[in-house]
Amino acid sequence: MRNRIITISREFGSGGREIGMKTAGRLGIKCYDNELLKKIAAESGFSECYIEDAGEYAPGGLLSSAFSHQSHGPNNADYLWNIQYNIITKLAENEACVIVGRCADSILEEKNDCLKVFIHADMSFRLNRVSGEYNKPEEASEQYLKKMDRRRASYHQFYTGKKWGLAQNYDLCLDSGRLGIARCVEIITHLYDMI
Amino acid sequence: MRNRIITISREFGSGGREIGMKTAGRLGIKCYDNELLKKIAAESGFSECYIEDAGEYAPGGLLSSAFSHQSHGPNNADYLWNIQYNIITKLAENEACVIVGRCADSILEEKNDCLKVFIHADMSFRLNRVSGEYNKPEEASEQYLKKMDRRRASYHQFYTGKKWGLAQNYDLCLDSGRLGIARCVEIITHLYDMI
């Protein structure tokens, strides 16, 4: 039996995680987000907080890549990347599911029955969500959101060599602020049947 | 009455034009593609062929912008851009329609009832379309397709200051090779009701 996977990459505060969870609920499959953190923590021995932070931070900055520091050997982030890579690959072999973030789009790139989604939204929609629905008013600044996006983009570029947010790297990109969370869930659910 | 607009930007050979025409057909509205060329030709006095070519070529190359050569005054491309800008703005004021290409996404950026779509596909899907359905085997090379994409990207960057193909610049981005032309038409038609 095929295990159809949906990967959701997202701008910080765009509701990608909510869309992932609601889509999984509609489809009756599991959504891996914090669950994935738990798995990586259990396998690596690092704390979930550390992994959450390291999972969005490229070791060498924007201009380096996973290959540019090979003479120094792997660091913690490389070690975690390797565990994350193996866990995601194994998940996709064993069950149909939604995977939020953690470069699953690139890790599962060669898998035919994987729908790669990117969710984004304008700044005001994201600021509202972060301060309201996420209840994290201290994070609701344009500067903070942009910093988080830069970190995700840099991490993605570092470990996959691909530009985060470039339409050509996904099957489907949706503006959740413009289309609304419910409509994004509906479109993704509908397209799941075709993969 | 509101005039709801769909703009379609697309990689060369991805079927964006076909998707635009079929969507317009389903919605009972007009699709402006060659029609737009005719309007610009009538207003400018230039031939349609010249406009088709100039409309995808940034005067100063990749690193310049519409503001970097202001000391030399406008050239033909700037003159055509101005006419194109006015025609698209007026179209959007007067009727609901689909507009393919020509930076309509950026020209109508501030218009709330405009759905901005980007269509892309992998190289083999596009090569097949160009040699088969477009019946232009002489253009069916990876090098030619990449050149056309670079020209579109450079023209878009030059006149709008925005990166062509970056998901954040569109409401919806679809991989026509992966999802299929019919499914793209279906999604866009469905979303038209919500704008």
- How far apart, in whole angstroms, are the C-alpha atoms of residue A89 and residue A85? 6
- How far apart, in whole angstroms, are the C-alpha atoms of residue A161 and residue B23? 35
Among B170, B171, B175, whose Cβ lies nearest the Cβ of A171?
B175
The larger pLDDT score, comparing residue A33 to residue A137, is at A33
Nearest CA to B105 out of B120, B122, B121, B92 is that of: B92
- Name which of A19-23, A41-45, A100-104, B100-104 the model is least confident about: A41-45
For the segment A116-132, the average pLDDT, to the nearest whole number, is 94
List residues in chain B touching A: CB distance below 8 A. 11, 118, 120, 165-168, 170-175, 178-180, 183, 187, 191, 194
SS3 A100: strand
Residue B150 has pLDDT above 60, yes or no: yes
- Name which of A68-77, A114-123, A185-194 the model is least confident about: A68-77
Are the beta carbons of A167 and B172 separated by less than 8 Å? no
Residue A55 has pLDDT above 80, yes or no: no
**What does pLDDT average to over chain B?**
87
Are the beta carbons of A175 and B171 separated by less than 8 Å? yes
- Name which of B25-34, B65-74, B182-191 the model is least confident about: B65-74
Q: To the nearest whole angstrom, how far is the Cα of A117 from the nearest Cα of chain B? A: 10
Residue A62 pLDDT: 46
Contact by Cβ (8 Å): B112, B194: no
Question: Residues of B with CB below 8 A from A191's CB?
Answer: 179, 183, 187
The string of pLDDT tens digits covering residues A183-193 is 999 999 999 98
The string of pLDDT tens digits covering residues B3-45 is 899 999 999 999 999 999 999 999 999 999 988 888 888 888 8
For the segment B155-159, the average pLDDT, to the nearest whole number, is 89
CA–CA distances in Å: residue B79 to residues A11, A111, A136, B103? 38, 48, 49, 15
Are the beta carbons of A180 and B194 separated by less than 8 Å? yes
Of all residues in chain A, what percent carry a pLDDT higher than 90?
A: 54
The CA R_g of chain B, rounded to the nearest whole Å, is 16
Residue A140 has pLDDT above 90, yes or no: no
Residue A142 has pLDDT above 60, yes or no: yes
Q: To the nearest whole angstrom, how far is the Cα of B172 from the nearest Cα of chain A? A: 5
Among B167, B172, B178, whose Cβ lies nearest the Cβ of A166?
B167
The string of pLDDT tens digits covering residues A84-98 is 899 999 999 999 999
